[in-house]
Structure 1
């Protein structure tokens, strides 16, 4: 049975915390983030800070789309204007999107704690810096896919928001050959693309089911029958 779930009629607590406090600690989430629990690709956005140090931001809440053969666009769906990532993008107009497999995830998580302005955030997290080929930004050697991007535009999520959506366009891609061959490691499966999954929440009780990052197993082809 389907039930309507109000934005405002919600439990007072999640996981033993006041709901507003819990949502803020998880990255300024909406109540509907917890209700829908939609998976999002996980990647690390890298660039140079104004002091020449490496910047690395573990990121999600984004989408990717092509518009003609020569335009592959990423919409970074939620970027805080107070963060190093935003400042780096505005100053250099470039970044690299680095996609780790799940066995690299623990080091990528460390970039959250190694985010001081004077810190080389990639190196401090146990990862290796490579120079991007086409843009002024570092990339992560351990990631199986690196997408070099140029800045296009930004848009506030809503009037008065301190978070913006930023569009970047791919200008170069570097991918491990074992990953673009689906008969080897491939892009899907336990070693492929990794997804952040918001913790599934019961909207009536506030009970949360703990889950970790997920991967995708490809299904069998389904014939398109449009009529």
Structure 2
């Protein structure tokens, strides 16, 4: 089997960690939506998620100050809005209005839930030890919501350079893990 060298800048597309999500934050009367694909599950119970949010993003300061967010999981039906949010800064505009997304008050955090997303995870920052060096926040999911009407969500996954993959096909294999 032959092999070809892959540029290191392309490794991300091989290891992408999961669906592209919309992170909502809120601080001092301002909410924002940020598109994020650099996240990873760290623990099952309580659910812990590691999130990389660049210190160049407006949401970085909002999350650092409020220590709360909602991770909203969209489906392919709103993919263009998801990419639009990722290509726009919320520092001077309201992305909810610009992209016609509906905010709803969360139960336990100040950041809003996005109704158009099939799942919403209310989170609190529990560890900031790696924020200064890596912009890596560890959040704990304290409340999870899901739209029961969405039976087979087709999530989008970023592969780099404007390329995405749509996931949604399920297979069942014998496994000892639950």
Q: Contact 2:69 / 2:124 at 8 angstroms: preserved in 1?
A: yes
Q: Contact 1:79 / 1:86 at 8 angstroms: preserved in 2?
A: yes
Which of 7, 15, 20 is equivalent to 1:38?
15
Q: Distance in 1 between matches of 2:87 and 2:27?
A: 16
Q: What secondary structure is seen at the aligned counterpart in 1 of 2:110?
A: coil
Q: What secondary structure is seen at the aligned counterpart in 2 of 1:37?
A: helix
Q: Contact 1:147 / 1:170 at 8 angstroms: preserved in 2?
A: yes
Q: TM-score, normalised by structure 1?
A: 0.67
- How much does 1:75 deviate? 0.6
**CA RMSD, aligned part only?**
2.6
- How much does 1:170 deviate? 0.5
Q: Which residue of 2 aligns with 1:196?
A: 158
Q: Distance in 2 between matches of 1:3 and 1:154?
A: 40
Q: Which has the higher strand share?
A: 2
Task: Encode CA deviations 1:159-204: one digit per residue, 9 max, x unaligned.
Answer: x85x42110000111110123xxxxx23xxxx333222236xxxxx
Q: Which residue of 2 aligns with 1:122?
A: 96
Q: Contact 2:57 / 2:89 at 8 angstroms: preserved in 1?
A: no
Q: How does 1:83-102 map to 2 (within 5 A)?
A: 83-102=57-76
Q: Which residue of 1 aligns with 2:137?
A: 166
Pair 1:56-2:33 in alignment: yes
Q: Distance in 1 between matches of 2:123 and 2:141?
A: 4
Query: What stretches of structure 1 of length at least 5 have no aligned partner?
Result: 11-29, 180-184, 200-209
Q: Distance in 1 between matches of 2:98 and 2:163?
A: 27
Matched positions, count = 175
Q: Contact 1:33 / 1:198 at 8 angstroms: preserved in 2?
A: no
Indicate how the Cα distance of structure 1 residues 172 and 223 shifts in structure 2: closer, same or farther if over 3 A, else same. closer
Q: Contact 1:54 / 1:119 at 8 angstroms: preserved in 2?
A: no
Task: Encode CA deviations 1:79-121: one digit per residue, 9 max, x unaligned.
Answer: 2112211111111110000011101111122213442413222
- How much does 1:156 deviate? 4.0
Query: What stretches of structure 2 of length at least 5 have no aligned partner?
Result: none
Q: TM-score, normalised by structure 2?
A: 0.84
Q: Distance in 2 between matches of 1:59 and 1:170?
A: 16
Q: Contact 1:45 / 1:95 at 8 angstroms: preserved in 2?
A: yes
